Amino acid sequence: MTEAVAGNRRLTPEAKLYLGLFARYATIIGLVAMIAVFSLLSPRAFPTLGNFTNVLNQASLAMIIAGGLTLAVVVGELDLSIGFAASLHGVLVTGLIVANKLPIPVAIAIVIALGALIGLVNGIIVTKVRVNSVIATLGVGTILTGLAFAYSAGVPIVAGVPEAFLQVSLGRWLFGIPNNIVIMAVVLGGLWVLVERTSLGQEIQAVGGNPAAARLAGIDVGRIKTLGFVVSGMCAALTGVLLASRLGSGTTSAADSYLLTAFAAVFLGSATLRDGEFHVLGTLVGALIIAFGFNGLNIFGAPTFSQYVFQGAILIVAVGLSSLGRAVAES
Amino acid sequence: MLAPQSPRAADAVPLVEAEDVAKSYGGAHALKGVSLSIAAGEVHGLVGANGAGKSTLIRILAGLTRPDRGEIRVEGVPVDIATPHRATELGMSFIHQELAFIPGMTVLQNIMLGIPKASRFGMVDWRAAAREVAPIAARVGITAPLSASVKGLSTAENWLINICRALVRKARLIVMDEPTASLSASESEKLFAIVEDLSASGVAVLYVSHRLDEIQSLCDRVTVFRDGRSVARLSRAQITRPALVEAIVGGAVEHLPPAARHPATGDVVLEVDGLVRLPKVKGVTFALRRGEVLGLGGLVGAGRTEVARLLFGADRLDAGAMRLEGRPYAPRSPTAAVKAGLGLVPEERRADGLVLSKSVAFNLQLSNLARIVRSPALPLIDYRRREALSLKTVRDLAIKTAGIETPVGRLSGGNQQKVVIGRWLLRAPKVLILDEPTRGVDIGARGEIHKLIRALAAEGMAVIVVSSEPDELPDLCDRVLVMAEGRIVRELSGEAVSRNAIVEASYAEAAPPAERSFA
């Protein structure tokens, strides 16, 4: 890539500076440009407070699960179990409320604790048994899918879901802001503080940056990596709960597709502001790009398949731009 | 300051010339204007402190980066080396410190990598390739069969394979970057013979090294870089150690007086009794006192690094026991060792010591995080404290950096090492272990690091220094333990600590004298 750019012509230092800046801000520029274009094309439907709230509300679940995934990738691992886990958690929380008549907060607490436990299992398999995280979490995720089918026999739990559970996701608390958005803001804010502003966050970043150096600096690398999986698992559980609440049912496989969206958001985020580093703020930007893109395509009545094409293409373009810019900066 | 060119170079068009080449990265000038002229068949030395610009010039010659200004000429013709492929076409070959092979392939396949091969019926004719390569392999002294896998070959053999690859590609200039850094003495001797043989057959060698004795004995001419400029060109007769050192440093070198060796009188901090971890450590016993700088000397493979790893909890003991301040000490991990009060400055600072993409402050505070948070219950980082402590360390250690938020990967080797040492300074461990503290560090920074280590000991820290450089331990240590074959074979203290005594002890007690040496 260095050759492709630097090889064909000499770049002046100014050109390099601008290309470097472009690489860092390309995703943000893209987001702003996309919003601008959609606003111009559809001035009545798109740029309204109602639509923006709607987009954020829709995207909140993906942002939460992607925020959790960010922790797993920051410590240098991948968590492919999150989508399957969220599906299981959705089925389970509905079942606990409908079949076991547990109070809603208790059911949610149990499911989120289970999410942490699944993360712990992922972490132990990866750090103690030393199974590659792609394989470990794919295996665990597949097992979880099996458990979800075993629990519900593949039949969605619909009947008897109390209105109060639906309100967890559909309700509006402060100033009429949808609960989903409030919960998302709290979770992502918390994750940002954890990674960027605490001593634990410094250790997390060190483990992701150079595990060997982190270990010799006295950091317990296995513990930190496991923590990444635990956070990822808890966020997946929360997403599963909110999805079940929004759908009003516990459906196996309902949240599976969040895996892809979360990865797209996280990798788009790595191309934002920092050269190829994963971070919470970047993930937020990545998730917004995907959300507004989908929304725009919907408004213009684009066929469903185009959403997949959009999601795949934007990911490749953004990450490609970022690594190209980095190569320029380093040449 | 430029010396007149030697007659050998003047009577013909130079093979490769660089004229007034400049290059900057971001705002930093890596090269401010260097000139270099290499004649066909000569061994040309390139020396300079870390950060002087040697690597940048090599990257430019190799087609890995483009100069901002200046001209490169091959046999008098200006060339534009846009890609590594173009560099190969021009007859230049590069052997780096980190050698890159494809591990699953054979010696022959690695040698022929990227070289057009004869084919038979559309398939590669490996027999023809082997016929072509065999005489060259024999000439450079590759003993492994061409059909052997490169996995498990020694660093020295990897070097030979690389040289062979260069010759198969008909290289006219081979650039060797710190060739002897990981070779033993006898392996180095072999390499020197090959370099001379290459030179005699008309292949030029650009020899980049910190080791001035090698430069002195091998090179026909030497170019010295300092701060991105070529400051001296010495011909054979002018290549003396003082002349090289003066050109590299650009002024008088601060000579640390040999350690005023104190017989250590402080309390015993660390007691080590009968440490065993087979196969490398076979029974090591010593005591370390507060305020003492203890050297671990010996040949490569004597077991010194392994002892350091045991002390730091990176490996488990087979037998033996340790006591730290009188209490049993059995670290299960480096984390436990750090908690107990040990610190380690590892040999490979880039790989094991630093998070290169992160800032100087980030790396400095990595083992000190508990002390820069607002409260243990709410571990939010106190950024004012972080900044103040980082700035103080940068100042105290004279770390040359644009700022504390500069990525540590942009610092020179010596300054990176200071960051690793500074990290432990902030934590103030009871015992600090330094493994090869000045490897790959330039002469000026080396003196500063030595002074720093002595200052730490003077403040009461107990320090263990592992070093393969024969001169380093006498400069630095109160007491030296010489290891051979996994055991301590001699203890030297006071007047008895000298380069010769260490070397003599290392060799005297080592069993078969086969492949072992300093370096």
Look at residue B514 and tell me whether its pLDDT is greater than 50. Answer: no
Query: Distance (Å, rounded) from C-alpha A65 to C-alpha A327?
Result: 31
Greatest extent of chain A over all pairs of C-alpha atoms, in Å: 70
Q: Which helix (H) or strand (E) holds B241?
A: helix B241-249
Closest CB to B82 among A7, A205, A218? A7
Of B28, B37, B49, nearest to B225 (Cα)? B49
Residue B121's pLDDT is what?
Answer: 77
At B362, the pLDDT band (50, 70, 90 cuts) reads very high
Total structural domains within chain B: 1
Q: What is the mean pLDDT of residues B33-60?
A: 89
| CA angle (B389, B395, B401) in 5-degree steps | 100
Closest CB to A210 among B24, B64, B355? B355
Give the DSSP letter string of B318-352.
SEEEEEETTEE---SSHHHHHHHTEEEE-S-IIII
What's the CATH number where B11 sits? Answer: 3.40.50.300
Mutation for testing the A interface, residue in B23, B60, B358, B362 having most A CBs under 10 Å: B358
Q: What is the mean pLDDT of residues A220-231?
A: 97
Provide the pairing of β-strand B327-328 with B319-324.
Answer: antiparallel
Of B265, B264, B273, B268, nearest to B325 (Cα)? B268
Q: Which helix (H) or strand (E) holds B62?
A: none
Q: How far is the alpha carbon of B324 from chain A, nearest alpha carbon, in Å?
A: 17
Residue of B nearest to A216 (CA): B334
Closest CB to B366 among A197, A217, A277? A217
User: Please, is B7 exposed, middle or buried when counting C-beta atoms within 10 Å of its C-beta (0-12, 13-18, 19+)?
Assistant: exposed
Long-range CB contacts (< 8 A, 24+ apart) of A110-117? A111/A237, A111/A240, A111/A241, A112/A234, A112/A237, A112/A238, A112/A241, A114/A89, A114/A237, A115/A85, A115/A89, A115/A233, A115/A234, A115/A235, A115/A236, A115/A237, A115/A238, A115/A240, A116/A230, A116/A233, A116/A234, A116/A237, A117/A233
Residue B494 carries which DSSP code?
G
Q: Return the SS3 of B88.
A: helix
Look at residue B510 and tell me whether its pLDDT is greater than 60. Answer: no
Give the DSSP letter string of A173-197.
-GGG-BHHHHHHHHHHHHHHHHHHH
Q: What is the mean pLDDT of residues A104-122?
A: 97
What are the percentages of helix, strand and coil residues in chain A, rounded to 5?
A: 75, 0, 20
Q: B134 in a domain, yes or no?
A: yes
Residue B353 carries which DSSP code?
I
Residue B493's pLDDT is what?
Answer: 86
Residues of A in Cβ contact (< 8 Å) with B305: none
Contact between residue B211 and residue B180 where contact means Cβ atoms under 8 Å apart: yes
Strand order in the sheet with B487-493: B342-345, B431-435, B462-466, B293-298, B479-484, B487-493
Of chain B residues 40-79, which have a CB less than 8 A from chain A? 64-66, 68
CA dihedral sign of residues B371, B375, B376, B379: negative
Q: How far is the alpha carbon of A194 from chain B, nearest alpha carbon, in Å?
A: 8
Look at residue B253 and tell me whether its pLDDT is greater than 70. Answer: no
Residues of A in Cβ contact (< 8 Å) with B338: 217-218
At B432-456, the pLDDT tens digits run: 999 989 877 777 788 889 989 998 8
What domain range is B73 assigned to?
A: 7-249
Residue of A nearest to B378 (CA): A198
Residue of A nearest to B383 (CA): A197
- Could you tell me the two tokens for B45? 């030395």
Q: Which residues contact A6 (CB under 8 A, 6 or more apart)?
A: A327, A328, A331, B65, B66
Closest CB to B362 among A8, A193, A202? A202
Q: B100 in a domain, yes or no?
A: yes
Residues of B in Cβ contact (< 8 Å) with A8: 82
Q: How far is the alpha carbon of B446 from chain A, nearest alpha carbon, in Å?
A: 22
Q: Do residue A13 and residue B366 have CB atoms under 8 angstroms apart? A: no
Q: Do residue A203 and residue B344 have CB atoms under 8 angstroms apart? A: no
At B308-329, the pLDDT tens digits run: 999 999 888 999 999 999 999 9
Query: Distance (Å, rounded) from C-alpha A61 to C-alpha A80?
Result: 17
Of chain B residues 389-428, which have a CB less than 8 A from chain A? 423
| CA angle (B436, B440, B444) in 5-degree steps | 100
At A10, the pLDDT band (50, 70, 90 cuts) reads low
b (16+ CB within 10 A) / e for B179-204: bbebbbeebbebbbebbeebbeeebb
Q: Kindly give the residue spans of alpha helices, DSSP state H, lying in A75-178.
A: 82-98, 104-127, 133-152, 163-170
What is the reported pTM?
0.75
Residues of A in Cβ contact (< 8 Å) with B362: 202, 205-206
Q: How far is the alpha carbon of B72 from chain A, nearest alpha carbon, in Å?
A: 15
Residue A201's pLDDT is what?
Answer: 94
Q: What is the average pLDDT value for chain A, to the nearest integer? A: 89
Backbone torsions φ then ψ of B288, nearest 5 degrees: -120, 130
Residues of B in Cβ contact (< 8 Å) with A205: 355, 358, 362
Closest CB to A209 among B82, B314, B355? B355
Instruction: Give residue for tokens 């970043």.
Output: A205
At B226, the pLDDT band (50, 70, 90 cuts) reads confident
Q: With an 8 Å Cβ cutoff, is B28 touching chain A?
A: no
Residue B169's pLDDT is what?
Answer: 86
Mutation for testing the A interface, residue in B366, B419, B427 having most A CBs under 10 Å: B366
Residue B255's pLDDT is what?
Answer: 47
Query: Distance (Å, rounded) from C-alpha A311 to C-alpha A185?
Result: 23
> In chain A, what are the domain boundaries?
1-42+258-331, 61-256
Q: Do residue A210 and residue B333 have CB atoms under 8 angstroms apart? A: no
Helix B155-168 to helix B126-140 angle, to the nearest 10 degrees?
A: 120
Q: Return the SS3 of A150.
A: helix
Report the amino acid identity of residue B289. R
Q: Do residue B66 and residue A277 have CB atoms under 8 angstroms apart? A: no
Question: Quick count: other Cβ atoms within 10 Å of Cβ B247?
Answer: 22
Residues of B in Cβ contact (< 8 Å) with A220: 333, 335
Q: What is the mean pLDDT of residues B43-51?
A: 84
Of A173, A158, A147, nearest to A250 (Cα)? A158
Q: With an 8 Å Cβ cutoff, is B372 touching chain A?
A: yes
Provide the pairing of β-strand B293-298 with B462-466.
Answer: parallel
Q: How far is the alpha carbon of B291 from chain A, nearest alpha carbon, in Å?
A: 23
Q: What is the mean pLDDT of residues A182-205?
A: 95
Q: Do residue A218 and residue B373 have CB atoms under 8 angstroms apart? A: no
**How many residues appear in chain B?**
519
Residue B504's pLDDT is what?
Answer: 74
Closest CB to A218 among B65, B338, B353? B338
Peptide bond into A211 cis (omega under 30): no
Q: Do residue A206 and residue B362 have CB atoms under 8 angstroms apart? A: yes
At B5, the pLDDT band (50, 70, 90 cuts) reads very low
Q: What is the 3-state secondary structure (H, E, C) of B143-165?
A: CCCCCCECCCCCHHHHHHHHHHH
Q: B433 in a domain, yes or no?
A: no
| Beta-carbon-side half-sphere exposure of residue B93 (alpha carbons within 13 Å) | 24
Q: Return the SS3 of B92.
A: strand
Residue A305's pLDDT is what?
Answer: 87
Residue B461's pLDDT is what?
Answer: 92
Q: Do residue B66 and residue A10 have CB atoms under 8 angstroms apart? A: yes
Residue of B nearest to A331 (CA): B65
At B28, the pLDDT band (50, 70, 90 cuts) reads low
Give the DSSP letter string of B173-238.
EEEEESTTTT--HHHHHHHHHHHHHHHHTT-EEEEE-S-HHHHHHH-SEEEEEETTEEEEEEEGGG
Report the amino acid identity of residue B94. F
E-assigned strand segments in B415-478: 431-435, 462-466
Q: B493 in a domain, yes or no?
A: no
Q: B512 in a domain, yes or no?
A: no
Q: With an 8 Å Cβ cutoff, is B29 touching chain A?
A: no
Closest CB to A219 among B26, B68, B335? B335
User: Residue B327 pairs with which residues in a beta bridge?
Assistant: B324
Query: Distance (Å, rounded) from C-alpha B393 to C-alpha B428?
Result: 12
Residue A125's pLDDT is what?
Answer: 97
Closest CB to B335 among A212, A213, A218? A218
Q: What is the mean pLDDT of residues A309-320?
A: 81
Query: Distance (Å, rounded) from C-alpha A161 to C-alpha A233?
Result: 25
Mutation for testing the A interface, residue in B369, B374, B384 having most A CBs under 10 Å: B369
Greatest extent of chain B over all pairs of C-alpha atoms, in Å: 79
Residue of A nearest to B24 (CA): A13
Contact between residue A183 and residue A242 where contact means Cβ atoms under 8 Å apart: yes
| Beta-carbon-side half-sphere exposure of residue B175 (alpha carbons within 13 Å) | 21
Please enumerate residues of A whose Cβ is less than 8 A from a Cβ of B.
2-3, 6-8, 10, 13, 17, 193, 197-203, 205-206, 209-210, 212-220, 277, 329-331
Alpha carbon of A260 to those of A172, A192, B142: distances in Å? 28, 22, 51
Complex-level ipTM beyond the 0.90 threshold: no
Residues of B in Cβ contact (< 8 Å) with A7: 66, 82-83
Query: Distance (Å, rounded) from C-alpha B311 to C-alpha B317?
Result: 9
Look at residue B3 and tell me whether its pLDDT is greater than 50. Answer: no
Mutation for testing the A interface, residue in B81, B335, B342, B368 having most A CBs under 10 Å: B335
Backbone torsions φ then ψ of A157, nearest 5 degrees: -90, 105
